[in-house]
Chain A
């Protein structure tokens, strides 16, 4: 019985996603068609790309509230520079601006040793102010509307460029977090920064590059959004921050740091997107949609806090401790 509960809890995101898809497929006509799913995936990609970056930061024990502002700023820069640089170089500059914003966040958090919540709250205001400043609070338009049509094209019946990029990023991040030493160091820093530092992990550097990674991905998401809509606007992404944090946390990543997974984030993003789309198809009022997503967020987090399963505990404690030859008397 315990075993079953443990397994159910371990794959709770996948189960909820499957349930959402099944129930919506039965109730909402045309929900499981390729067109609907590919459009849903494309819309989820913007949240997903920022969420991918935030996953690393949360695992490292930090948080970034400025993702939405970076999203807007990078999009604006890439749109404004289009006439002088051409579309692709301008897009690269936009991503670079995202990375730069991340570097500012990371440099200040590590250098001043301040709480990342308040600091990124401050930089969120600053980045958004810059975005309003350079655009005069007006939306800016790109040069080539046809290019945005190619960006929005669906390939292989299911992937747009955006959603394919999101999936690739998540898979690469999963491999990096689970298969490389640098990835493991992120977990070490998140669960105990002092201990990690003592063991020779440069905790400051991990956090710094975590912020650059998150900033760059928010930049990528912003640039792609601007390319797809052929617009850059200083108000883009203001409601994204909450959705992104919710998606990552639903995916099982802890805000306290030290635990989380890229595949969990993929599940979280897809679950939230599937739910939103199903409710929109059924014309559920926006405020009831909020109640449902809020309830799911709180439920999953409370489950995570209150139910400690054996399976998870065994994973958290090293084998040497659970089966220490000295305490077990040498018996296996």
Chain B
């Protein structure tokens, strides 16, 4: 018995085996925090406007809208669903309906209906991807196009404006000095983290993404879990769109354009693998914080927009390259 224990002990402390991977392990765990710290340090030295409460509140507020989508998108990537490209459509659905229905049924029911209909779009995605086995890219692309068209047809293809100033005041206002949007984002993030890391659903999600056949053989309802990830993303995008609409007090059909790629960028930079089976909400949010801080520093330094796109592109390529390299070593 003790022989086996010592055998195991010596194996785990095998110097040659552990040295390289320990360094990589450390790097993969703390790399992003270090990068965030570096950006903050650089930002504080390069621009006097960076390290101020006002600027951080700005970053937080602009981060919150996209952050809610990021929480949902994490589920899609972890479950092995590649990406949800219908996010612009669900954001537009949330924004247009939560403003457009205000005069008819009041602001709160309008918001709820908008989010529910977004969830409906997500469940169509989910049925196509999870139950019919359609490629997620094609399914979400097609459903996104259809949904956006229907929402536009419903309001007559025009820009919708808000009709309820109180709800706008509430969303733009602050609670204990923190913007309401940020609080909602934090709530969504905490709930998302709890589901993914602490609940049976999260375990199923990770199992399905890690090894679909093995999860299926272990009686995990893989189809429902895969479909669920798309519903979660759509609900998150619907909430995000509703908040965006209420903040701007106007919603045009292309309001959500680019959000899908920003969300994927944040999640991938956070080290969540696009191949599925690995990742967490805090990691994705760390990725989001890094991207947002970097963009903020670049804006403050007067870096031109095209170069910002260039830097983001290289960031994504670097992140996926690192993911595949770490995967080969069996760390991440």
Q: A residues within 8 Å of B by Cβ? A: 63, 108, 112-115, 117-119, 121-126, 128-133, 137, 242, 245-246, 249, 254-256, 285-291, 293-295, 297-298, 301-302, 305-306
A286 surroundings in chain B (CB, below 8 A):
157
In the bound assembly, the distance between CA atoms of A294 and B314 in angstroms comes to 32
Q: Is the CB of A291 within 8 A of B313?
A: no
26 CB < 8 A contacts A-B:
A112-B325, A114-B321, A118-B316, A125-B312, A125-B316, A126-B309, A126-B310, A129-B306, A129-B308, A129-B313, A130-B310, A131-B306, A137-B305, A242-B141, A245-B138, A246-B141, A255-B135, A285-B157, A287-B149, A287-B153, A294-B146, A297-B138, A298-B146, A301-B139, A305-B132, A305-B133
Minimum CB–CB distance from A276 to chain B (whole Å) comes to 13
**Quick check: is B116 within 8 A (CB to CB) of the other chain?**
no
Q: A122-B320, A137-B306, A287-B157 are in contact. Are A295 and B146 (CB under 8 A)?
A: yes
A128 surroundings in chain B (CB, below 8 A):
306, 309
Interface of B is mostly: helix
Minimum CB–CB distance from B30 to chain A (whole Å) comes to 23
Q: Is the CB of A291 within 8 A of B146?
A: yes
**Quick check: is B143 within 8 A (CB to CB) of the other chain?**
yes
Q: 5 more A-B contacts (CB under 8 A) besides A133-B306, A245-B138, A288-B149?
A: A112-B325, A114-B323, A121-B261, A287-B152, A298-B128
Q: Is the CB of B141 within 8 A of A122?
A: no
Minimum CB–CB distance from A98 to chain B (whole Å) comes to 17
List residues 213-237 of chain B with CB under 8 A from any CB of chain A.
none
**Quick check: is B137 within 8 A (CB to CB) of the other chain?**
yes
Interface of A is mostly: helix
In the bound assembly, the distance between CA atoms of A7 and B94 in angstroms comes to 43
**Quick check: is B159 within 8 A (CB to CB) of the other chain?**
no
A108 surroundings in chain B (CB, below 8 A):
317, 321
B274 surroundings in chain A (CB, below 8 A):
115, 117-118
Cβ 8 A contact of B253, one of A118, A125, A287? A287
Q: Is the CB of B142 within 8 A of A301?
A: yes
Cβ 8 A contact of A301, one of B138, B265, B268? B138
Q: A129-B310, A133-B306, A298-B139 are in contact. Are A118 and B268 (CB under 8 A)?
A: yes
Q: Is the CB of A122 within 8 A of B317?
A: yes
Nearest 5 pairs of A and B residues by beta carbon = A132-B306, A125-B313, A294-B145, A291-B149, A126-B313
In the bound assembly, the distance between CA atoms of A119 and B83 in angstroms comes to 13
Cβ 8 A contact of B309, one of A125, A255, A287, A297? A125
In the bound assembly, the distance between CA atoms of A175 and B307 in angstroms comes to 42
Q: A126-B313, A129-B310 are in contact. Are A290 and B141 (CB under 8 A)?
A: no
Q: Is the CB of B142 within 8 A of A294?
A: yes
Q: Is the CB of A290 within 8 A of B275?
A: no
A123 surroundings in chain B (CB, below 8 A):
313, 317
Q: Is the CB of B82 within 8 A of A122?
A: no
A291 surroundings in chain B (CB, below 8 A):
145-146, 149-150, 153
Name the residue on B nearest A63 (C-beta).
B137
Q: Is the CB of B145 within 8 A of A293?
A: yes
Report how many residues on chain B are interfacial, defined by Cβ distance under 8 Å.
48
In the bound assembly, the distance between CA atoms of A127 and B142 in angstroms comes to 25
Q: Is the CB of B142 within 8 A of A297?
A: yes
A242 surroundings in chain B (CB, below 8 A):
141, 145
In the bound assembly, the distance between CA atoms of A124 and B149 in angstroms comes to 26
**Quick check: is B264 within 8 A (CB to CB) of the other chain?**
yes
Q: Is the CB of A114 within 8 A of B137?
A: no
**Quick check: is B148 within 8 A (CB to CB) of the other chain?**
yes
In the bound assembly, the distance between CA atoms of A255 and B83 in angstroms comes to 14
Q: Is the CB of B143 within 8 A of A294?
A: yes
**Quick check: is B134 within 8 A (CB to CB) of the other chain?**
yes
Cβ 8 A contact of A302, one of B128, B313, B315? B128
Q: Is the CB of A290 within 8 A of B146?
A: yes
Q: Is the CB of B153 within 8 A of A288?
A: yes
**Quick check: is B199 within 8 A (CB to CB) of the other chain?**
no
Q: Is the CB of B149 within 8 A of A118?
A: no
B148 surroundings in chain A (CB, below 8 A):
287, 290
**Quick check: is B211 within 8 A (CB to CB) of the other chain?**
no
B308 surroundings in chain A (CB, below 8 A):
129
A297 surroundings in chain B (CB, below 8 A):
138, 141-142, 145
In the bound assembly, the distance between CA atoms of A301 and B134 in angstroms comes to 7
Q: Is the CB of A298 within 8 A of B313?
A: no
Q: Is the CB of B307 within 8 A of A298?
A: no
**Quick check: is B55 within 8 A (CB to CB) of the other chain?**
no
Q: A287-B149, A302-B132 are in contact. Are A126 and B314 (CB under 8 A)?
A: yes
Minimum CB–CB distance from B213 to chain A (whole Å) comes to 16
Q: A117-B83, A126-B314, A306-B132 are in contact. Are A112 and B146 (CB under 8 A)?
A: no
B275 surroundings in chain A (CB, below 8 A):
115
Cβ 8 A contact of A121, one of B264, B323, B328? B264
Name the residue on B nearest A249 (C-beta).
B138
Minimum CB–CB distance from A76 to chain B (whole Å) comes to 12
Minimum CB–CB distance from B328 to chain A (whole Å) comes to 8
A112 surroundings in chain B (CB, below 8 A):
320-321, 324-325
In the bound assembly, the distance between CA atoms of A256 and B138 in angstroms comes to 11
Q: Mark B246-269, 1 if CB is under 8 A from A, else 0.
A: 000000010000000100110010
B320 surroundings in chain A (CB, below 8 A):
112, 114-115, 118-119, 122
A254 surroundings in chain B (CB, below 8 A):
135
Minimum CB–CB distance from B48 to chain A (whole Å) comes to 28
In the bound assembly, the distance between CA atoms of A122 and B313 in angstroms comes to 4
Q: A119-B317, A122-B317, A285-B157 are in contact. Are A132 and B305 (CB under 8 A)?
A: yes
Minimum CB–CB distance from A290 to chain B (whole Å) comes to 4
Minimum CB–CB distance from A246 to chain B (whole Å) comes to 7
Name the residue on B nearest A126 (C-beta).
B313
Minimum CB–CB distance from B234 to chain A (whole Å) comes to 16
In the bound assembly, the distance between CA atoms of A297 and B85 in angstroms comes to 15
B132 surroundings in chain A (CB, below 8 A):
302, 305-306
B321 surroundings in chain A (CB, below 8 A):
108, 112, 114
List residues 93-139 of chain B with CB under 8 A from any CB of chain A.
128, 132-135, 137-139
A129 surroundings in chain B (CB, below 8 A):
306-310, 313
